[in-house]
Structures are given as structure tokens and as C-alpha cells.
Chain A
């Protein structure tokens, strides 16, 4: 373990740690642009200069590229180091436009921060600034090449890290240009990360342009709900609208990055058509009225038809809290039936995966990255778990063999960033050689026998769940012997349903009475439901999700529920002419317009109380209470011990 001294502070770090990281470990941020922990060292920007006063290396050195060694005496404040850093800033500012007021990066710009920190303020250069033509890069990303400081982060991420081939660096000297061969949408499903990784405003999120500054945003640690990987995100909200979603680091899940679906697919959160008001028989009503009516309807239905002809239907969209309370609500309703899935095939796959995976065989991300072979079993990885494709790519670059077993041809748009060999069966994958192997498959709709066979191979396993919280749904379905709704309907065992964030196809609904439903989006259930209670989406709620590997992660409310201010219905204004887009109503009101939504589990808790069940103070009871203290900014915890300890 090298021991060195940085600015008079003794530091001991793991071998191979750079001086830059060693300094960071004791709270010293050495300014840097090209350095990014996820990317290979470039040592291109030359901003992280420090001076080595003593030890094996001396003089000005780039701290990102210098491994910490015993006996080094490092100064980050030596006049020569300071001068170098201020010159680097001066060099970069020779050409960087002074357009911060109209730049979306303003306020969250590394170049702004380090320009101030670098001490360069007075322009001495008398030449002109060079300019470039921008390119159209699609609907996600705005290109502003004049702002470029040529740190090469974008090209290094796009090609080296993410395996994209349609974006890179052209030209040489002061003519280097970062873009595409010809204008057009970026092809990589990870292109949005250019926004996060660019230290200045060359790439900004086009979907959230000119809306707000960094300090205006409300944000909180969140978990993406698009697939079962559970990438960590940070939604940035302004006036009850999710303006941008950015990646949040979690080395156990997504590293630093997120896929474009996680970043850009957010329209539904802000959709003005989202059902916002509680409703009774087609008319808007108060929240209590709707909950009372729902409780009454459940009680009456149970009295008339017996509790076992009623099903409480949830889905993998629910948070763990909602899933746990759904079971309690079923008890409070006198023993109603429970559904976490509609489709039997999905349920049996999901349940089988939740049963088969254990601490020993459930692959960590690093198991994928360090694997010697990886089998993708009948899987379009970019479709089902895009971020894992980057983990597989790491293994591939390190020499792993990748196989696509029994898979349909992968559509061109989903070509993964690694080469693979298509084989017909798992027998053709070289297990015998032993070594570190990982099998990745989708659990939903897979035959449990097949999953069991896959699990018996001895490889580490990734079984992707249908839905963001599918693992939890599988666990709870197993625990409560829940049946898929389709089975119950087919067996004519239920006649009525109460749905919570459940997508029941119209075909199934036709023979059922929908007593009440709660959801944050519209659909056939909501349309048919006489009583409707709006719920919050994941951006507006606190909750827990369990990802494909059995990792429980906490997400936090990042904004208040309610209609976005932008484009608010004129009814919220004093008069119609005042209803100017983007301006809040000038009439004072106490409630948030459209802010009646509550987390689904809270709705369930109210119903439990109304039905005479035990009042719910905290949804995570019993074995789940271990998850109450889950840190939303932590790495999450794998739940196998919790489940086993029951």
C-alpha cells in the first residue's frame, strides 16, 4: 500500500491508485476535465497538474496518469502547479464562447467551476475564437461544438466504452471535431450519456432545453423503472415537471451511466392526461369519498359473493411496499385472492427465478464483467436490459466469449456492442472448460423447468424479470401462493377485482366486475372502474424495488405530486388570458393542482383501515423491516438473507 504525502496530509492508498484519486480520498479535488473514473486515462487536458516535491518522480506531473508511490510528496498548491492549471484554463478559454447565459450547462458546468478555481480571469489572447458548424444528432441531444474543450471524453465513452461506431473525433490540431460522419440521430442506445459526461455544454439534453438551472431543480436519488436492472438515476424536476433524468453512480448496478430509455422516456411522467383526480361514478370527488366508496364496495362484494370470488390485483409496477400491503389488504378483505401477475407464463417464470436465485449463484455486475464466457439465452439484451450490454462488452473486451443460445435473430437497431456466436443450445457453450461463466436470460415467459436446467449449469445467473419490480412480485406471489389473474378467470374463481397499478387486458376484464382501481395512468381498468383513486409514479413516491439479481434499492420522492405548471389548464388561473404557458397561476390556492395522488401503498393502507384491519404505520413489516433503513444513496442490499431468515 503506497504511502505518500499530499499537501502535508499523509495518505495511504491501494496500489495502482492515481495521485488524483489519492488526493480525492482525503478531500482534495484536483481540477480535471479529461479524467473520468469509468474511462481509460487520456492525460489530454493537462489540468490536473500537481508538483512532486520529493520522491521517485519530481516536478510537474499529471495526477490522473501518475500512480501513487511510496515516498511521494505532492503539492497541489505549488505556484508552478497553479500556474500550469491557470494556463490550461486560459488555453481552453481562448476559444470557448462566453455564452454561459444561454447555455443549458450553466450552473452544472465543470468548465465554469474550474475556470473560477483555476484563477484565470483576464483575457490576454488577441486572436479570434474559432467556430464550428453544429450537427443534428437526433431528438435527444443538442450539439454546440463551439463550446468544446476537446477532452475527448465523449468519443472515448461513445466508442471505447459503449461500442458505438457512428460518433467520434475528426480532424487534427485545433480542427478536431466531435460528431458524426453526417448529420443524423445518434445510433447508440447509450448516446444520452454524452450529456452527463461532457464537462461543458457541447452536448445538452434537447428534451429539457432552456427550462431551468441546476439550482432550480428538485431532485432525489431514484431508481429507473423501465426494466429490471434498476439503474440509479436522479430525476431533475422543476415546477412539478421532470425536466431531465441523469445517471447516478452505483458500481453494483449501472456504474456511472444509464441507457437512453431511462434518460429520455419520461413524457408519461409529465403527461397532462394522467388521471389526477379521484373519481366516483364518472364524477370527480374528494379523496376520502373515493376511498370510502371503495372500502364499502369491497365489503359489500365480499358479503354478497364471498371473499374468494374477489381478487386484489397488483403488478410488477408496484413498489415492494405496495406488494406487501396488497397481501394485508387481502386479509383485511376477509381473505380475498391475490394476483401479482396477469399472465400465468410470466408469473411462473418470475417465481421460478426468484426461487432459483441465491446469494451464491445470482451474478453480480462484476461477475458479468469478469466472466470468461457469457451465454445470452434466447435474449435481445438491448431490448430487455440495455445497461447489462455494457457489462457484457467489458467482459468481451477482456477476452470473454459470448454466445447467443437459441435466440431469434437480433434486429439491427438492437445490435449489441460486442461480437457473439449464435449457437442452438446450451450444450454448445464450453462449460466443461470450467472458468467463470454467466448465463443471462429473461425469466418472464420461460418454462420453470428450463430455468431450473439453466440454473443447474453451475454458471452465475442473470434472470431478467418482467417489469422493474418483478423480482419482488415473484417473491410475494410465491410467499402468498398468489395466482395469475388469467388462471383465476379461466377457472371462473373470481368475479370481481380491485386493481392497483395493474394492466389487465380487456379480454380478461370482460367477464369481471371492476370494483375500484388505483393507478397513475389510464387504461382499460381505469376506464371500466366506477371508483378510481390516482396514485403517484416513482418520481413522486418513496419506495423500494428489487432488481433482477435480488438487490433491494430505495427510491425517494424527487418532486411533489401534481400537475406540472407548464401548460396548466386555464381553470387554475384567475381568467383565461392569464393562463400563459410556463407561468404559475397568480391566484393563491392551498392545494397543489392535480395533487391528490398518493403512493399506492398509502391507498391500500387507508382501505385496510376502512375495512377494519390493523392500522398500517410502516409498510415494511416482519422480515422486510430490515429494509427500512435502506440508504437511497447506497448500493442497495441483496435480499437473499432476509428471505431465507424468515
Chain B
């Protein structure tokens, strides 16, 4: 169940859209922010808000890279594995993240803090290798910097 305030603001977002569907991505993102991931319940709530069936929301939810239909950690680490970051040896950074966090790609740390997911080009090619942690972008990564960032993000809940 989502709080009334969130429901009201989502209803307003849907009402302000030219067609309810246009607000679908916003609604899914808001619900994801609330639950941490887009739960089955959230899909049904989104459907009710948008006047769609849960399946029709699911059709959209499963298309997008940044909508999570499975539980994720408190903060999702998206680490770029596209060409510019590859040039900057992102493989080393990804391996370091795996080792440091003790998870494989797609895995969530035992404490439920981080989920590690490779992602497509983040548009940070000038600062490659790059990643984002809970939506905050970080560039020019080195293993040492990654350690610092993880430590900071872990404490900065």
C-alpha cells in the first residue's frame, strides 16, 4: 500500500498528462522509489492509477533498463560497460566491484546495501570509466576511488 500523499501526487501527475499512458514511466519510477523496486503490488497500483491492466504496465516495466522488477539492494550500482568505458578498462573496475562486494553481476550484497548491474553508456564517456550509485554518477574511477565511494555511499544512507 502506498501512502495517501504519494497516491495524491501520482493522481495529479496522471491528471496533468495529455493521456494517462504518457505518465506511465513517471508513475513507475515514483512507485519504484517508494518500494525500492517495482513490486507486483506496485505494478497493480500503477495499473489502477493509469487505467491500464497490470499486464499493460508490465509490458512497459519490463522494457526499460532502469525499472527493476526484482528486489534490489538499497542502492543500485550501475557500472557502464560500453565502448568508451571499455577503452578506459572498465573490466578492471567491474572485477574490482565484484570482488569488493562479493557478488556477481546482478547480485545483491549480503547486507542488502548494493546491487551490481552493468549498464549501457551513461553519457559519461569523457569521465570513463563510470558508474552510478543510487542514481549519483561517478567518473574517472580507479579501484581506490571505488572503495572510497562505496564506503561513503554505505555510510550515507
Contact = CB atoms under 8 A, between A and B. Distances in A.
A172 B52 CA distance: 20
Given A181-B43, A182-B40, A166 B62 contact: no
Interface string A177-194: 100111000000000000
B59 interface: yes
Interface string B47-79: 000001111101100110000000000000000
A171 interface: yes
A165 B56 CA distance: 7
Contacts of B53: 165-166, 181
Nearest to B58: A181
- By secondary structure, the B interface counts as helix
Interface residues of B, number: 11
A372 B62 CA distance: 38
19 contacts: A165-B52, A165-B53, A165-B55, A166-B53, A167-B55, A168-B58, A168-B59, A169-B59, A170-B55, A170-B58, A171-B62, A171-B63, A172-B63, A180-B55, A181-B43, A181-B53, A181-B54, A181-B58, A182-B54
Contacts of B54: 181-182
A181 B63 contact: no
A66 to B, nearest CB: 28
The 3 closest A-B pairs by CB, nearest first: A165-B53, A181-B55, A170-B62
B20 to A, nearest CB: 14
B50 to A, nearest CB: 12
Contacts of B40: 182
Given A166-B53, A182-B40, A172 B62 contact: yes
Interface string B33-47: 000000010010000
A217 B121 CA distance: 55
Contacts of A180: 55
Contacts, number: 31
- By secondary structure, the A interface counts as loop
Nearest to A158: B55
Nearest to A179: B55
Contacts of B56: 165, 168
Given A180-B55, A181-B58, 16 more contacts: A165-B52, A165-B53, A166-B55, A167-B55, A168-B55, A168-B56, A169-B59, A170-B58, A170-B59, A170-B62, A170-B63, A171-B62, A172-B63, A175-B62, A181-B43, A181-B55
Nearest to A165: B53
A180 B55 CA distance: 6
Nearest to A180: B55
A165 B58 CA distance: 11
Nearest to B61: A170
A604 B124 CA distance: 86
Interface in A595-615: none
Contacts of A172: 62-63
A177 B62 CA distance: 10
Contacts of A182: 40, 54
A322 to B, nearest CB: 45
A177 B61 CA distance: 13
Contacts of B52: 165
A166 B56 CA distance: 8
A167 B55 CA distance: 6
B47 to A, nearest CB: 9
A175 B61 CA distance: 13
A287 to B, nearest CB: 55
Q: Which of A170, A171, A181 has the most CB of B within 10 A?
A: A181
Contacts of B59: 168-170
A150 to B, nearest CB: 14
Nearest to B55: A181
A514 B15 CA distance: 67
A167 B54 CA distance: 10
Contacts of B58: 168, 170, 181
Contacts of A167: 55
Contacts of B62: 170-172, 175, 177
Interface in B133-154: none
A524 B63 CA distance: 58
A175 B59 CA distance: 12
Interface in A551-589: none
B151 to A, nearest CB: 35
B81 to A, nearest CB: 16
Contacts of A169: 59
Nearest to B44: A181
Nearest to B64: A172
A398 B53 CA distance: 22
A166 B55 CA distance: 6
Contacts of A177: 62
Nearest to B43: A181
Contacts of A168: 55-56, 58-59
Interface string A51-78: 0000000000000000000000000000
Interface in A144-176: 165-172, 175
A181 B43 CA distance: 9
B71 to A, nearest CB: 17
